[in-house]
Structure 1
Amino acid sequence: MVPTLNNMSNQAFQTLKELPTPLNESQCVLHEHEILICGGYRQRVCYSYHTLKNEYKFVCEYPSHIEVNGHCVLKLVDNNKDNNQITLLSFGGHKYFKKHTLVMKYVSVWSNILDISNKSNEFNNHNKWTPFTDNDNHPVIIGRDNDEYRGVRSVIGGRNNNLLFITYIPNNISIFDLNTFQFIKHHTLPTQGLISYHCFVSNSENGQGQEMMKTNKQNYQMLLFKETTGLSIEYDEDNNTFQFHQLPVCDDIAPFYRYAYVCINDIVLFFGGCNWSYSVISKSVHKYSIRENRWMTFKNTLLSPLYNRVAVLSEEDNYIHIIGGENDKHESVTAHMKTKVREWDPSQLVIIYLFILMKHK
């Protein structure tokens, strides 16, 4: 039987256990065999999903006074190298309401470390959102009063992984130093449309695209896409300057934003999305090749049209997880699926083949 488009889609995507709660605009961070799912639009709940067990566990909720609305969550680089815990940073919010900036010291809810440590109170302040504070323990809010951080996107870079690059409405990029707790630069992006709920990744060698690739000396590269906008952003840390280069955007993806995206080696994958008026919801999958500066629209599609989803790469098994979102009826969904990287990046087949070849020599 020749596979139809739907059959091909079913082959490309594997449906996983549904989310405990419908979520859209969620943020996810990978930690070993866990995907930490941190809230969503007006949803404060946070879960850990275990990629091997296909199960969820409750972690915590955002504080009740926090309105989660187009926020951003990243994993901070921990110089202590404590494998038992990671630190998450969550920030964002509407400019007419109080923004939030919180951190969570996370210890796996799947391990027995928490049970053992309960006797010593060692991890009493873990697995909960607490205020982000400076060296004097004063609360720090990232963002100026008039900064609109709904749909904000951010990556971490710098020679010491201490610089937070923030892109936000209407066409702004700012750099916040996580060591000094101060902004060191504000700049206007050379874009025509508003920047929000967009794709913003570092051009990096790692799968998640959070730690930036150095081009020479202390230059770092980032990519930004939204609707017809495509930008290559290069930052010179020594001189604190930006350089921008326009990138092409293919006609098929140009109407859309609010897509799930993930950067893997030298490609960026885009899943779904919607147009500005929400009248067209996409189920297409697109690929941008950084090296070739070329776009591709795949015949394989998502199982259904969705937007406001989040994608995250599980590097252990080379699967991309696509979580939550809204359907074409604008309802939040509990959907969770995964797809193999090699479905979309043929170079992974070569890597796997070479690995097997070397293993059997």
Structure 2
Amino acid sequence: MATTDQIFQTLKELTIQLIKSQCVLHKHGIIICYVILWGHCVVKLIYNNKDINQITLLCFGGHYKHTLLMKYISVWDNVSKANHQNELITLTDNNNSIINIEKDYNNYHVMLAVLGGVNNNLLFINYYPHYINNNLPTKDNETIFDHCLIKISYEEMLFFYSKSSILIKYDEYSNQFYFNHIKIYDQLSKSGHYGYVYVDSMVLLFGECSDITSTK
């Protein structure tokens, strides 16, 4: 059986320090969203879109309670860009009224979200003090801040924060959450403010101290 040290591996340091960055996959690259919105979340929306060069990013939450949208085309693609592509714009409805996902009674200042469900039409929001559409059973009932929420499959997510490492499963048909505590890497339990992506059964964590850790 593999030990914790064998499961986790420290890789080469990044050239710049990244704190509170949001990361999404696009083609063979990683988009690192490092904008000053303080506590925001970036989610890659999934459409049946034939334009493989363009993706849509939803940015919301944070201190300023923005709900923003970006039509993104890679800077490496030799594709002409339309107006407002690769720019964050305010999300509005058909009447040009501003759409705000966050309600007055929510605290989305430090929150994360992933798309899930069989049809990728469910938005799971994990926010302070310890909620994910339900109470999250963190160790010692600790409140969450600058945590990590990773989509593993359409029904499974991984949550990391401090002493808590939880495999979350959602049964869409019974509308029930199931939580399973798993062992956490000691170094990871002392880290925070990291970005992350999940690719090829591997989690890449971009730490607050400019290091990058991977786990399978």
For 1:250-292, what per-residue CA distance to the aligned partner results, in whole angstroms no more than 9, with x for missing partners? 444333332344434444454545xxxxxxx6968463x5xxx
Indicate yes or no: 2:38 matched with 1:39: no
Indicate yes or no: 2:147 matched with 1:198: yes
Q: Which residue of 2 aligns with 1:139?
A: 98
Q: Is the 8 A contact 1:70 1:152 kept in 2?
A: yes
Instruction: Return the alpha-carbon distance in structure 1 between the equivalents of residues 203 and 13 of structure 2.
Output: 20
Which residue among 102, 118, 122 is the counterpart of 2:68? 102
Q: Is the 8 A contact 2:59 2:69 kept in 1?
A: yes
Q: Which residue of 2 aligns with 1:73?
A: 42
Amino acid at match of 1:100: H
Q: Which residue of 2 aligns with 1:13?
A: 12
RMSD: 3.0
Q: Is the 8 A contact 1:149 1:168 kept in 2?
A: yes
Which residue among 167, 171, 184 is the counterpart of 2:130? 171
Q: Is the 8 A contact 1:27 1:73 kept in 2?
A: yes
What displacement does 1:109 show?
3.5
Which residue among 92, 99, 113 is the counterpart of 2:61? 92
Instruction: Return the alpha-carbon distance in structure 1 between the equivalents of residues 52 and 125 of structure 2.
Output: 27
Amino acid at match of 2:40: H
User: 5+ residue gaps in structure 2?
Assistant: 1-8
What displacement does 1:102 show?
0.6
TM-score (norm 2): 0.78
3-state SS in 1 of match to 2:67: strand
Q: Is the 8 A contact 1:90 1:100 kept in 2?
A: yes
Instruction: Return the alpha-carbon distance in structure 2 between the equivalents of residues 126 and 251 of structure 1.
Output: 42
Q: Is the 8 A contact 2:202 2:214 kept in 1?
A: no
Instruction: Return the alpha-carbon distance in structure 2 between the equivalents of residues 80 and 284 of structure 1.
Output: 32
Query: Which protein shows a greater Rg?
Result: 1
For 1:138-180, what per-residue CA distance to the aligned partner results, in whole angstroms no more than 9, with x for missing partners? 3221122132223322111112212111111100113xxxxxx
Q: Which residue of 2 aligns with 1:259?
A: 194
Q: Is the 8 A contact 2:18 2:194 kept in 1?
A: no
Count residues with an aligned counterpart: 206
Instruction: Return the alpha-carbon distance in structure 1 between the equivalents of residues 131 and 77 of structure 2.
Output: 41
**Sequence identity (%):** 44
TM-score (norm 1): 0.50
User: 5+ residue gaps in structure 1?
Assistant: 1-8, 43-67, 118-122, 175-186, 205-211, 213-219, 274-280, 290-361
Indicate yes or no: 2:188 matched with 1:189: no
Instruction: Return the alpha-carbon distance in structure 2 between the equivalents of residues 228 and 263 of structure 1.
Output: 21
Q: Is the 8 A contact 1:93 1:149 kept in 2?
A: yes
Instruction: Return the alpha-carbon distance in structure 2 between the equivalents of residues 38 and 284 of structure 1.
Output: 16
Q: Is the 8 A contact 1:150 1:196 kept in 2?
A: no
